[in-house]
Amino acid sequence: MSRPDSPGLALLITGTDLGVGKTYVAAGLARLLKDRGIDVGVMKPVEVGWPKDTGQWPPDADRLREAAGSDDPIEDVVPYAYEEMVAPQVAADQHHDPVEPQVLKAALDRLRARHQIVIVEGAGGLAVPLDDGFDMASFAHMCAMPVLVVCRAHVGTLNHTFLTVHYARSRGLEVAGIVANRLDRTLHDPSVDTNARMMERMCGAPVLGMVPFRPESDTLEDVVDTCNSCFDMDAFMNRVGLTTTSKG
């Protein structure tokens, strides 16, 4: 595995809500960067809805490492996993197994030492609590991570997206951009055609992709093909400060 001369970048993929497509976007970006010759690491700091001691990878973390072609150890990629599908701090309290900020930072530091960039998929949104006084925004701030906001493309998204971007900036975080997902193909929603432009006007951040509806059963290859067709990868790489490494 190649190692950068200096610690790599880290980018937090956050969302305006649960189920907006963070894993989809994070996996797509990881593979597209890898295909451009970038050495990519991935991280899911906390994954809920999966027992910790099964000896198997939680599904979100597993999709991310598959996309990146990662062979990093599970304790770095997904330091915490909890069986209950509840907020991470709630699950941690129930198990008397608190999320420790320094454990998360140490894992990310190890990944950054190995890779040019680490794609970090957050748990829910920026304000999701991990421990008392410590949320996903706190983790991003601790590790100087810019954020990419994944949101719905549909009506109602302007408020959710603006509030997420506003909270990020209030915590001193850089917003690299926005990706919108069209999650419901049955919804007749004329706002989809105008929401991207309004997000940019309201948030002062570029919309780097509008993902069309795709079923949950998409294979990784389908995810990558879809993301490749709708992401502005050159703009994304410029926003996060990446340069392409020429391939053999």
Quote the CA–CA distance of 111 and 149 in Å, as a whole number. Answer: 22
- SS3 assignment, position 211: strand
Q: Which of these is catalytic: 44, 52, 105, 247?
A: 44
- Based on the residue annotation, tell me whether 44 is a catalytic residue of this protein: yes
**Separation of CA 100 from chain center:** 20
What tokens appear for 73 in the block? 């150890």
What tokens appear for 180 in the block? 């919108």
Strands 129-131 and 134-135: antiparallel
What tokens appear for 52 in the block? 């910790």
Quote the CA–CA distance of 153 and 67 in Å, as a whole number. Answer: 24
Strands 134-135 and 80-82: unpaired
Q: Please give the positions annotated as active site.
A: 44
